[in-house]
Amino acid sequence: MKITICFSLVLSLLFSTYSNGQPLSKADTELFGKIDKLLATVYKSNETGATALISRKGTVIYKKALGMANLELNVPMQIDHVFRIGSISKQFTAVAILQLLEKGKLDLQDDIKKFIPDYPTHGYTITVEQLLNHTSGIKSYTSMNEWDDQVRRKDFTPAALIDYFKNQPMDFAPGSKWDYNNSGYVLLGYIIEKVSGKNYPDYIVENIFKPLGMTNSYYGDHIPLIKNRVSGYEPAKDGVTNTDFLSMTQPYAAGSLLSTVEDLFKWHQAVHSYKLVKKEILDKAFVSSKLVNGKSTNYGYGWFMGNLQGSATIEHGGGINGSLTNAIYLPKEDVFVTVFSNCTCKPPSEVSTKIAGLLINKPFGEHKEITLTGVDLNKYTGVYENENGEQRIIRNDSNKLTSQRGGGTLYKIKPYAKNKYFFENSMSLLEFTEDANGIITGHKFSAGTEPETYWKKTNKSIAAPKEIQVNEKILNSYVGEYELQPKFIITITNEGNRLFAQATGQEIFELFATTETEWFLKVIDAKVEFVKDETGKVLKLILYQGGQKMDGKKIK
């Protein structure tokens, strides 16, 4: 085992020191040192691990494996290890649909009833394109309350999986909103089968994996032996545990593929050199779709459209039991970064975004706080709203500004230039705008690769909720565990007649009552409502946060 570990370290050093067989320049040596440090901070040698690959101008310049592929067997990660890639699978499904479009076998404006005649569309026309860009309004099966631990263990045929969610009510009229939707991509996989005459796994293997030489990519299945497949983990109270079982028949065309970072680079190269679909068709995948009201969704077909400090990005991440993945491409600079992690406890999105920033000389986290003189910080304070009506509150706390977005954490923000602030321990930036008289009118906000948004300053004020006391018997009735999503639990405890809430893997926060059943948090903008039956038995809680309403069934 020691020999294996040493060999792995030698490989890592080799990849960090040479690019395409040539000695590194001084600039790249410094760059790769920073990337090594970024990755090593998150993915430690004796913990769950990751693989990373970076290309520039079409050439791989860096690849590295970190941490452990299997904790129980003490197997270190290797660069050719195979991961579940989760929703990055959607790119493959989208390209398969565009291949069929190119062959004239379907049209993006086709009504889905053309392929699934008995699908209940509630009087609407739902198009293939609306499945691709998440504007169909169909209920995503992964957000259904019924999608519990027992259901996730069941095998489904594609038709049976569609039957499982098809009678759910629509979330909104097709084209009127954007909402990330796994059901839409399940339907796309089924359409591929109906049109091509092949099952989805066979279609992807024969039309994508084999032609591109993606020899370490597979359709996810627990049964076959797959060389170099990593073990998957998830966070637990005392560290990590093996991930829960999920039948891979369920993610299907929305998230069931397996791959390596090297194979994903082959895919990336093939896509952007138009080897699979001709340019005039494939380029549609990289255009942000618009809603019927003209608003941009920042999503094409299987890819998000983002912005990294002024540089356009084409990107997507994946999250599935035991694995988190992320891939970012900056077309103007021709830079590609992908990171795979084998634990849902260590998201790669932030580290991959920071790496991309380093590569284009727009690093995150290197802003230096300056001292402001002669500036009245109170001119910045107030309630700001974006075009969706979401709020951000800027406060002056002891001559320091804080920012709190509706449903978000309270952040300290620090100045680095006139009217420009960075968020402590975050990649977010905020720039205040002012009129000719120096009156603050709003602010521009950017975070990672999210598109910049504008928040207008309002005259609104937020009054602090009035707290009341609730008796101990009622407090004790709320104590227990509430499941919001699979493996995401809010635990309610009563300590000294004070109620506390703790979500899986997060800090514990005190709750404060405004009524017997309605409670709020002071550290974040969130509310909790307890729901009882006619006998007074507590059935569930409802979490209101970030403009969303989430039910949590009481399970213990």
Instruction: Tell me what pLDDT residue 6 has.
Output: 30
Instruction: Express each pLDDT in 227-286 by its tens digit.
Output: 999 999 998 878 899 999 999 999 999 999 999 999 999 999 999 999 999 999 999 999
Instruction: Tell me what pLDDT residue 17 has.
Output: 36
Query: What mean pLDDT value characterizes the chain?
Result: 90
Instruction: Express each pLDDT in 377-434 by its tens digit.
Output: 999 999 999 988 888 999 988 899 999 876 566 788 999 999 999 988 788 899 999 9
Instruction: Tell me what pLDDT residue 328 has.
Output: 98
Domain ranges for the chain: 84-309, 377-457, 472-554
Instruction: Express each pLDDT in 328-383 by its tens digit.
Output: 999 999 999 999 999 999 999 999 999 999 999 988 877 889 998 888 999 999 99
Instruction: Tell me what pLDDT residue 19 has.
Output: 47
DSSP 110-151: -BGGGTSTT---TT---BHHHHHTT-S-PPPGGG-TT--HHH
Q: Which two structure tokens, joined as six digits, stand for 524?
A: 């974040």
Instruction: Express each pLDDT in 134-169 by its tens digit.
Output: 999 999 999 898 898 899 999 999 999 999 999 999
List the end-to-end C-alpha distance of the chain, in Å, as a whole number.
Answer: 44
User: Among residues of the chain, what percentage have pLDDT more than 70?
Assistant: 94
Instruction: Express each pLDDT in 77-115 by its tens digit.
Output: 999 999 999 999 999 999 999 999 999 999 999 999 999
Residue in the structure block whose two tokens are 């900056």: 330
The yes-or-no verdict on residue 13 having pLDDT over 60 is no
**C-alpha 265 chain-centroid distance:** 20
- Bigger pLDDT: 250 vs 6: 250
The yes-or-no verdict on residue 186 having pLDDT over 70 is yes
CB 49 within 8 A of CB 341: yes
| CATH code, 472-554 | 2.40.128.50
- Of the listed ranges 117-131, 461-475, 492-506, the least confidently predicted one is 461-475
* Whether the domain at 84-309 and the domain at 472-554 fall into the same CATH topology: no
Q: Write the single-letter amino acid at 518.
A: E
**What is each CA distance from 353 to 254, 255, 447, in whole angstroms?**
23, 22, 10
Instruction: Tell me what pLDDT residue 10 has.
Output: 30
Instruction: Tell me what pLDDT residue 546 has.
Output: 59
Q: Which two structure tokens, joined as six digits, stand for 297?
A: 């969704």
Single pTM value for the model: 0.81
DSSP 195-227: HHSS-HHHHHIIIIIHHHT-TT-EE--SSS--T
Length of the chain (residues): 556
Question: What is the C-alpha to C-alpha distance for residues 425 and 58, in angstroms, rounded to an integer?
Answer: 33
| CATH code, 377-457 | 2.40.128.50
Instruction: Tell me what pLDDT residue 4 has.
Output: 27
Q: Which two structure tokens, joined as six digits, stand for 266?
A: 């082959």
Q: List the one residue out of 139, 132, 130 whose CA is nearest residue 174.
A: 130
Q: What residues contact 545, with CB distance under 8 A and at least 6 apart?
A: 406, 407, 524, 525, 526, 527
H or E element at residue 395? strand 391-396
CATH 3.40.710.10 corresponds to the domain 84-309: yes
Question: What is the C-alpha to C-alpha distance for residues 331 and 307, in angstroms, rounded to an integer?
Answer: 11
Question: pLDDT-derived band of residue 5, with 50, 70 and 90 as boundaries?
Answer: very low
CB 150 within 8 A of CB 118: no
Counting Cα atoms < 13 Å in the Cβ hemisphere of 448 gives 17
